[in-house]
């Protein structure tokens, strides 16, 4: 599932935070994938945040994730990233979306009667 959050800066720039949640059914794990896009003031198009391709390709897979995260922190704060993850999680949380309703009143009972017990 993908969640998008737009943060507007004081100077008018807009930052789009894309959070993608992957759920693994085998070991009940989950992984977040984050992308950042920036729209400069008085522009309409969001441009993906890019970094030096040559340096990025020379890194190992673990180092690439760390490198990307550090580059993202230059544009957005850690709290903004955490807020986007939490908002995504709240959207799909089964507890929040569950609606608990009272059982419908029985048409055979009058007010003050004791309803029958289920054994």
Query: What pLDDT, in 10s, does the model give residues 81-117?
Result: 888 888 888 887 765 554 444 445 555 555 555 555 5
Q: Note whether 1 and 92 are within 8 A (CB).
A: yes
Residue 36 has pLDDT above 90, yes or no: yes
pLDDT of residue 119: 45
Torsion angles phi and psi, residue 27, rounded to 5: -115, 15
Query: Distance of alpha carbon 40 from its chain centroid, rounded?
Result: 23
Handedness of CA 61, 64, 66, 72 (dihedral sign): negative
Residue 15 has pLDDT above 90, yes or no: yes
pLDDT of residue 102: 47
Domain boundaries, the chain: 2-87
Three-class DSSP category at 54 = helix
pLDDT of residue 111: 55
| pTM of structure | 0.68
CA distance 46 to 17: 11
Helix residue spans in the chain (DSSP H): 53-58, 61-73, 78-92, 94-97
Average per-residue pLDDT in the chain? 79
């Amino acid at each position: 599932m993908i969640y998008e959050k737009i943060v507007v800066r004081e100077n008018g720039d807009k930052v789009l935070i894309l959070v993608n949640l992957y759920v693994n059914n085998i070991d009940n794990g989950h992984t977040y994938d984050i992308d950042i896009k920036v729209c400069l003031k008085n522009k309409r198009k969001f441009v993906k945040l890019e970094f030096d391709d040559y340096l990025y390709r020379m890194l190992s897979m673990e180092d690439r994730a760390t490198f990307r995260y550090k580059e993202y922190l230059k544009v957005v704060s850690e709290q903004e990233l955490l807020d986007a993850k939490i908002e995504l999680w709240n959207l799909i949380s089964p507890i929040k979306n569950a609606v608990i309703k009272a059982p419908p009143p029985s048409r055979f009972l009058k007010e003050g009667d004791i309803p029958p017990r289920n054994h």
